[in-house]
């Protein structure tokens, strides 16, 4: 009945750049790839997230309420998803190659979240939803 707020939900997202977008999969789909030469093309990011609680749900829904052009209060799905991503993530091991060609950890910040490829952000949210609704 009560959510243990000290627990975390941990998962990994696998991705590879394909032309101008990212092909993304969760652990289950990554494990279905049978060819090793295909698997090595993927990079991964491991994520630690908070459990979803009634309090977080209320905060996210309230933060997604905006006024439209008529002055009416409406629920904004884009804001909801953006705030959810920022709220649920506790840590990650995201890396990028710097100008010296070395791999460096990307800090989990508002700017780094907003610069994610849409496919990656959506995969994080959908995997989180799958894991928290089973």
User: For each of the chain's 134 residues, which pLDDT tens digit applies?
Assistant: 999 889 999 999 999 999 999 999 999 999 999 999 999 999 999 999 999 999 999 999 999 999 999 999 999 999 999 999 999 999 999 998 888 989 999 999 999 999 999 999 999 999 999 999 87
Q: What is the pLDDT of residue 134?
A: 73
In the structure encoding, which two tokens stand for residue 116, read together? 């994610």
Pair 27, 42: CB distance under 8 Å: no
Cβ–Cβ contacts within 10 Å for residue 129, how many? 13
Query: Is the Cα dihedral 74, 78, 81, 86 positive or negative?
Result: negative
Q: Are 56 and 87 in contact (CB under 8 A)?
A: yes
pTM: 0.90
Which burial class, exposed, middle or buried, applies to 48 when counting CB atoms under 10 A from its CB (0-12, 13-18, 19+)?
middle
Strand order of the sheet with strand 43-49? 21-26, 9-18, 43-49, 89-92
- Per-residue model confidence (pLDDT) at position 52: 92
Give residue 81's Cα distance to chain centre: 10
Residue 21, pLDDT score: 93
The predicted pLDDT at position 27 comes to: 93
């Amino acid at each position: 009945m009560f959510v243990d707020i000290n627990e975390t939900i941990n998962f990994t997202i696998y991705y590879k750049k394909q032309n101008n977008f990212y092909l993304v999969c969760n652990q289950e789909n990554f494990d279905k790839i049978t060819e090793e030469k295909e698997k090595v093309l993927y990079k991964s990011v491991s994520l630690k997230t908070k459990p979803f609680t009634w309090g977080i749900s209320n905060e996210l829904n309230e933060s997604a309420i905006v006024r439209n052009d008529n002055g009416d209060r409406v629920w904004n799905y884009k804001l909801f998803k953006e705030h959810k991503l920022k709220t649920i993530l506790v840590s990650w091991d995201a890396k990028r190659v710097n100008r010296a060609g070395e791999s460096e950890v990307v800090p989990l910040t508002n700017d780094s979240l907003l610069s994610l490829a849409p496919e990656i952000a959506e995969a994080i949210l959908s995997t989180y939803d799958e894991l928290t609704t089973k």
